[in-house]
Amino acid sequence: MSMNTEFRPTIVAFCCNWCSYAGADLAGSSRLAYPADVKIIRVPCSCRVNPMFILRAFEKGADGVILCGCHPGDCHYSTGNYYARRRMTLLFSMLDYLGVENGRTRVEWVSAAEGVKFSETMNSFVEKIRSLGPNVRLGDLRCKD
């Protein structure tokens, strides 16, 4: 069989407490399945996510990292996700520049009412990561060991 069917990626999802984490809860209470590969870390706001967290996840073996927050304009803290958006745009662009497959990182805005969107987002993200395969290149960044 091809490797993709066996490959079980490790995926870290950072979700803001007010919208996306609640959206994930809604996906759960609506029984909208998505792969168990996704593990959610609760943060107060998407602006709490430091690029360091994302790189650290890759360093430790994650195959994909997704950040979910309130829709722009709906931030519980009014402006947090706008900062997150700029930070992540630049970070992703840098990873792309370094030759890391873009697609291993994603930002998606999911409101507390969007259980369906949360589930669909996770399904498509896992699908994407499975198609990319294991995170060799970010792993390869370990140039010496």
Partner 1 sequence: MQRLIDRAKALLESGEVARVLGWRKGENVWDVEPAFFASPEELSDFVYNGFCGANLSKYMIEASKLEGKTLVFLKPCDTYSFNQLTTEHRVDRETAYIVGVGCKGKLKIENIDAKGILDVQGAGYPDASEILTVKTLYGDKEVSYKDAMLERCHVCKGKEHMVYDELIGESVDTCDGDRFAEVAKIEAMSPEEKFAYFQSELSKCIRCNACRNVCPACSCRKCVFDSNKFDSAQKANTISFEEKMFHIIRAFHVAGRCTDCGECSRVCPQGIPLHLFNRKFIKDIDSLYGTWQAGAEVDARGPLTNFRTDDAEPSIVTKRG
Partner 2 sequence: MQRIGVFVCHCGSNIAATVDVKKVVEMALKEQGVVHAEDYPYMCSEAGQSRIGEAIAQKGLTGIVVCSCSPRMHEATFRKAAERYGLNPYMVEIANIREHCSWIHKDMAEATEKATILMRAAVAKVHLNAPLQAGESMVTKRALVIGGGIAGIQTAIDIADAGYKVDIVEKTPSIGGRMSQLDKTFPTLDCSACILTPKMVEAAAHENITIHTYSEVEKVSGFVGNFTVDIRKKARMVDIDKCTGCGVCQEKCPSKKTPNEFNRGLNNRSAIYTPFAQAIPNVPVIDTTACIKFKTGKCGVCQKVCQAGAIDYTQQDEIITENYGAIVVATGFDTIKLDKYGEYAYGQSKDVITSLELERVMNAAGPTKGHLERLSDGKAPKEIVFIQCVGSRCSDDRGKPYCSKICCMYTAKHAMLIRDKYPDTNVTVFYIDVRTPGKNFDEFYRRAVEDYGVNYIKGQVGKVIPQADGSLLVQGVDLLDQKQILKKADMVVLATAIEPNPDVRKIATMLTASIDTNNFLTEAHPKLRPVESPTAGVFLSGVRQGPKDIPETVAQAGAAAVKVIGLLAKDKLKTNPCTAKSDELLCNGCSQCANVCPYGAISYETKLINDHGIREDRRVAVVNSALCQGCGACTVTCPSGAMDLQGFSNRQILAEVDAICR
- CB of residue 1 vs partner 1: minimum separation in angstroms? 26
From the list partner 2, partner 1, none, which binds 102 (C-beta under 5 to 8 Å, kind-based)?
A: partner 1
SS3 43: strand
Q: Does 82 bind partner 1 (CB under 8 A)?
A: yes
> For residues 134 and 139, what is the distance between their CA atoms, to the nearest angstrom?
9
Report the residue from 4, 30, 78, 79 that binds partner 1 according to the rule CB under 8 A.
79
> For residues 21 and 76, what is the distance between their CA atoms, to the nearest angstrom?
13
Contacts to partner 2 by CB under 8 A = 10, 12, 17, 21-22, 24-25, 27-29, 31-34, 36, 39-45, 47-53, 56-57, 60-62, 76-80, 83, 87, 119
- CB of residue 144 vs partner 2: minimum separation in angstroms? 21
- Sheet (strand 105-109) strand order: 38-43, 11-16, 64-69, 105-109
- CB of residue 41 vs partner 1: minimum separation in angstroms? 15
Q: Which two tokens stand for residue 98?
A: 């370094």
Q: Does 138 bind partner 1 (CB under 8 A)?
A: yes
From the list partner 1, partner 2, none, which binds 77 (C-beta under 5 to 8 Å, kind-based)?
A: partner 2
Cross-strand bridge partners of residue 38: 11
Among candidates 74, 88, 96, which has minimal Cα distance to 20? Answer: 74
